Amino acid sequence: MVSQLLLNGLIAGSVYALVAVSFSLIYRTVRFFHFAHGGIYTAGAYLCFTFYSLLRFPLFLAVICAVLLTAVLGAGMDILIYRPMRARHVSSLVLLIVSLGLLIISQNIVSLVFGDATKTLRTFIAQAHDIGGARITSVQMIIIAVSAAVCALTWLLMQFSYFGRLMRAVANDRELSRAVGVRNDRVIMLVFALGSALAAGAAILVSFDTDMTPTIGFGALFMGVVAAIIGGIDSMPGAALGAVFVGLVQQLAAWKLPTEWQDAIVFVILIGFLVLRPQGLLGKRRIGAETI
């Protein structure tokens, strides 16, 4: 029983990790909560459904097309909506409200185009394996492996690549980076594209394990945000660690409590972190207020 709950927590945490890392990537660059990321997540799953189930593309090609188009969608959202607002120096609160509106609009567009009925990408029965008395399917094993690999590669990209240095420069001081010749808007656009691609990958992986509806992005977004805050929203390793922690807490809570308490326990822990350690597990305490 316990081994199955721990394994289920690791699977859930692997999904949350991709969402948390992608959300943290965008937040640390633009400094506002991009809640429309949940709509991007949903778009990734439904684009893959379109290419794979409706247009009959080969699976690999369908996944690549869906991820690339979702990246373009995220970049377009920044270019068409957020960039003009940044040029007018609107507050982070205004950007947050706009992002909530975009989340609602995107969910309604998906509902209008595909309907509210449950959709699935599963066209096969995944083989189950026994690990230490717990059961895990081949798809769930792929979810864990892909999540770990993608999170590690993203961290390496941010730490050791030229683009990562540019992103950190923009995140730390946008005016100074512009003064030394960094094209801030271009860097931010690429961050939105990368974060959106990661969210699409998470949604596609989940959709091969469970069914999907137009509202799947909402739950994934909020668990990802909670995971990022608990782990340290400025730390990519922290966001991934927080995601695994949230997944384990959710599953272990179901051991002794009714299932409807799973999310409530997570938010109780979030409040505790905000009171006692607001910087999260691996985050660093910031001095002074930040402005967009």
Question: What digits encode the pLDDT tens for the residues 22-55?
Answer: 999 999 899 889 999 999 999 999 999 999 989 9
Structure tokens at 7: 């394994």
pLDDT-based confidence at 254, cuts 50/70/90? Answer: confident
Q: Which two tokens stand for residue 29?
A: 């660059």
Give the Cα-Cα-Cα angle 196, 217, 110 (nearest 5 degrees). 90
Residue 137: its pLDDT value, please? 85
Domains and CATH numbers, the chain: 2-276 (1.10.3470)
The predicted structure's pLDDT at residue 3: 83
Q: Indicate the range of 15-29, 70-84, 156-170, 249-263 predicted with least confidence.
A: 249-263
Q: How far apart are CA 222 and CA 235, in angstroms?
A: 18
- How much is the pLDDT for 165? 92
Structural contact between residues 292 and 91, judged by C-beta atoms closer than 8 angstroms: yes
Mean of the per-residue pLDDT values for the chain? 88
pLDDT, tens digit, 9 for 90 and up, residues 226-243: 999 999 888 888 999 999
pLDDT of residue 189: 95
Instruction: Please determine, for residue 62, whether its predicted confidence score (pLDDT) is greater than 90.
Output: yes
Rounded Cα gap, residues 273 and 160, in angstroms: 30
How many Å apart are CA 4 and CA 286, to the nearest integer?
A: 39
CB 170 within 8 A of CB 187: yes
pLDDT digits (tens, 9 = 90+) for 129-168: 787 778 888 888 999 999 999 999 999 999 899 999 999 8
